[in-house]
Amino acid sequence: MAETITLPKNLKGEIKSLIVQAVQDVLGDPDFGLELSVEAKKRLHKEERDKAKLIPFSEIKQKYHR
């Protein structure tokens, strides 16, 4: 049978805080909250416009498949 380890409440809180901080360090977004530059916004808008010009493969296949 597994043994149970009892920790003081303040130690549990410190351990939880360390674990949360470690996960945030690994998975966190370093750019969170920062504004996009004007150039980055332009590139994103260009990508959106270019995507609108794409034709799905299913439509091409339907049109040209014999």
DSSP 40: H
pLDDT at residue 39 in the model: 95
Query: What predicted TM-score, i.e. pTM, was given to this entire model?
Result: 0.36
Task: Judge whether residue 4 has pLDDT over 70.
Answer: yes
pLDDT in tens, 5-57: 777 777 888 888 999 998 888 888 888 788 989 999 999 898 888 877 888 88
pLDDT at residue 1 in the model: 63
Closest CA to 44 of 35, 32, 55, 57: 35
pLDDT at residue 41 in the model: 92
DSSP 30: T
Task: Judge whether residue 2 has pLDDT over 80.
Answer: no
